[in-house]
A = this chain, B = another copy of it.
Amino acid sequence: MRINGVEIEDTFAEAFGIKMARVLITGATPHWARVAAQEATGFGTSIIMCPAEAGIEREVGGDETPDGRPGAYIMICHMSGKELENQLLARIGQCVLTAPTAAAFNGLLDAEIQYDTGFKLKFFADGYEKEDTIGGRRVYRIPMMQGEFIVEHSMGAVSGVAGGNFFILAKNQMAALMAAETAVSAISRLEGSITPFPGGIVASGSKVGANKYKFMKATTNEKFCPSLRDEVETMVPPDVEAIYEIVINGICPDAVEKAMRYGIMATTKIPGVVKITAGNYGGKLGKYKMHLKEILR
């Protein structure tokens, strides 16, 4: 299969279940909503060594928020529901409650799992909190130096999907990077998915375990390293000098597949992109298989 001259490998991305909370942060302006969202989702690329996987889903106008102010949806993910709840509390408490003009609303009203994060945060008000309703949402008003912080009682979470992915193989590092950037931009307009790595992009790429340093749980995937082409049994095509991966977490398989489709389509417009493939473990480990050909049909 070829799209705009780019080869699409006949393979699939293998993805896993993950617990995922969604929060809507609003602010006085889009800038200030973004500031809170960025701080709250930082240090959140991979649960291998980050305390959570997190990212900004997309920005919304005031016509889509309970308080009529511009906002940004964020997602926070963890394998453990208990740890997810802790991360929600810590990230909203430390990075949204403290952020200028920010408010935090439930991003998954209808989800079965509802954490009472707002209720827990109200204790910061030391008895001066007031309960109220904004746009039909049950919120607490917490007096602060800037005025007040508004937080909804509950924050919803679902069993979502982690590790949706595709790989961009290009003639040159800069072509691969620009393709990755435009893919992430395309995905950032969509509902229900995040790309948790820095700028949405993975520059490394890992295999489980190690050949030499046996104490390592994950090491570089030498078969996909262009500079090791002559030293190992390589998977890097001859005309490829660089590869970036886009990792996608989403609230459901459809959201991940839509993100993959929009992201891949965007990459095929960048001169120098040679091939798109995806990462899997032979289908043995993950709950979900996203076949590139089906997604792009």
Enumerate chain A interface residues (CB-CB to B < 8 A): 4, 28-32, 35-36, 38-46, 48-51, 54, 61-63, 67-70, 89-91, 93-102, 123-128, 142-149, 167, 171-182, 185-186, 189, 197-199, 201-206, 210-213, 215-216, 218-222, 224-228, 231, 241-245, 262, 265-266, 268-272
Contacts and interface: CB of A to CB of B under 8 A. Distances in A.
Contact of A145 (B49, B62, B244): B244
Contacts of A203: 97-102, 144-146, 149
Contacts of A30: 182, 185
Contacts of A167: 145
25 contacts: A28-B177, A29-B185, A41-B42, A41-B43, A43-B51, A49-B94, A62-B186, A63-B262, A98-B198, A101-B177, A124-B204, A124-B220, A126-B211, A145-B224, A146-B177, A146-B204, A147-B242, A147-B271, A172-B174, A172-B272, A173-B272, A174-B178, A174-B272, A175-B175, A175-B272
A29 to B, nearest CB: 5
Nearest to A46: B94
Most buried by B among A43, A46, A89, A265: A43
A222 B128 CA distance: 8
Given A61-B189, A100-B198, A142-B220, A29 B182 contact: yes
Given A40-B42, A70-B185, 6 more contacts: A28-B269, A32-B199, A68-B265, A127-B211, A145-B242, A241-B271
Contact of A174 (B43, B124, B177, B199): B177
Contacts of A144: 203-205, 220, 225
Contact of A67 (B36, B176, B269): B269
A274 to B, nearest CB: 11
Nearest to A32: B199
